[in-house]
A and B are shown apart, each in its own frame.
Chain A
C-alpha cells in the first residue's frame, strides 16, 4: 500500500524535477531584496518609494516568472519527461487549522517578546528560518535526498544571520532614510536572510536543472 501511496505522490514531486520551482522562487526573492535595497538607497520621495511601486513591481516580476517558467517547461521538461496538468488543490480542514494555530502561536510569541523584552530580531529570524526550512523540506527536499543539505543550510543561515553583530547587519542600510524609520537590525537581518535564501535557492535550482539536462535526453520526435 505504501508503494501505491508513493505513486500518488510522484506527480507532486515531478513539479520541481527540473529545478524550476526553486529557480522561480529564488528569482522572486532576489527581485524583492533588490527592490528593498534600491528603495532604501533612493530618495524618500523618488518613484521607488511611492505606494504603488511595490505592487506594480511584484505584479510585473510574477508575470515574467510565471511565463518564464511555462516557457522553460515547454522548451525542456515536456519534451524530455512529459507534460503533467495538476488537479486543483482543495482547501483542507487541516490546512485551515494549521493556519489558525500558526497565527495564535505568532501572536503569543509577540506578546511574550514584548512583555519580557527579549531580543525579538533573534526570535523572529529563528522563526522565519524554521518556517522556510519546514516549507522547503515539505515542498522540495522530500523528493530529492541531497536537498536535505539545502534545508539544513537554510536553517543554519537563519541562525547565523541572527547572531551577526549589529554593525554588520545594519551596514547595508546605514546612512539611508530607512535608518531613521525602521529598526535597522531587524530590517538588515531580514534583508540578509532573504538574499541568502534567494542565493541558495538559485544555486540548488541551477544544480537540479544541470543534473536534469544531463540525466534525461530529448527525443525530439512524437511522444508515442
Chain B
C-alpha cells in the first residue's frame, strides 16, 4: 500500500467528523472556552453540540467542567493533553495524505 493511502487509513475518525473537528480546532487555540462560545461559533444546536462533546469526553480528548458564573451555570471546556496531541497528529496526517 502506498504511504499516502496508508495515511488516510490511519486518520483519527473521532476528530475527522466535521462537527467534532470544529470543536477540537476551536478549543485547540484557547485555554478554556464555554459551551455558549462553541455554540455561537459552530452554529450547532445544543443537542448536537452536547452529543459531540460527550463523544470527545469519552475518548479523553475534552475536559468538561461544570461551574457557575454568578448564579448562572456555566460549562467550561478544554482540550486534554491527549486531545492536543491527537489533533496535532491529525493535522500532520491530513497534510501527509493530501
Q: Which residues of A does B touch, CB under 8 Å?
A: 1, 4, 7-12, 14, 74, 78-88, 216, 219, 221-224
A85 to B59, CA, bound (A): 23
Residues in A neighbouring B30, C-beta threshold 8 A? 11, 84-87
B20 to chain A, nearest CB (A): 12
A7 touches B33 (CB 8 A): no
Q: Which residues of A contact B29 (CB under 8 A)?
A: 7-12, 87
Most-contacted residue by chain A among B36, B39, B50 (CB, 10 A)? B36
Smallest Cβ distance from B76 to chain A, in angstroms? 8
**Contact yes or no, A1 B37, CB < 8 A:** no
Known: A1-B95, A223-B72, A224-B73. 19 other contacts (CB 8 A): A1-B91, A1-B94, A7-B26, A8-B29, A12-B29, A14-B41, A74-B69, A78-B36, A82-B34, A82-B35, A83-B32, A83-B37, A83-B76, A84-B32, A87-B31, A221-B72, A222-B73, A223-B74, A224-B35
Residues from chain A with a CB closer than 8 A to the CB of B91 are 1, 4
> Can you report 17 residue pairs joining A to B where beta carbons are below 8 Å apart?
A4-B21, A7-B25, A7-B29, A10-B29, A11-B26, A81-B40, A82-B34, A82-B40, A83-B37, A83-B69, A84-B30, A85-B30, A219-B36, A221-B72, A222-B73, A223-B74, A224-B75
Cβ-closest chain A residue relative to B98 = A1
| Closest CB in chain A relative to B79 CB, distance in Å | 10
Chain B residues with CB under 8 A of A12: 29
Q: Is the CB of B31 within 8 A of A85?
A: yes
B64 nearest in chain A by CB position:
A224
Interface residues of B (CB under 8 A from A): 21-22, 25-26, 28-41, 46, 50, 69, 72-76, 91, 94-95, 98
Decide if B31 touches A223 in the complex (CB within 8 Å).
Answer: no
Most buried by B among A78, A79, A82: A82
Contacts of B76 in A (CB 8 A): 83
Whether A8 contacts B37 in the complex (CB less than 8 A), given A83-B74, A223-B74, A224-B50, comes out as no
Residue of A nearest to B66 (CB): A224
A83-B25 in contact (CB<8A)? no
Number of A-B contacts (CB under 8 A): 84
Complex Cα distance, B95 from A9, in Å, reads 18
A223 to B36, CA, bound (A): 6
A146 to B76, CA, bound (A): 32
Query: Which single residue of chain B is at the shortest CB-CB distance from A222?
Result: B73
User: Are A223 and B33 in contact, with the CB atoms below 8 A?
Assistant: no
Q: Is the CB of A8 within 8 A of B28?
A: yes
A24 to chain B, nearest CB (A): 20
List 9 A-B pairs, minimum CB-CB distance, nearest first.
A82-B37, A82-B36, A7-B25, A222-B73, A85-B31, A223-B36, A224-B35, A83-B34, A224-B75
Name which residue of chain A comes closest to B50, CB basis: A224
CA distance A221 to B30 in the complex (A): 24
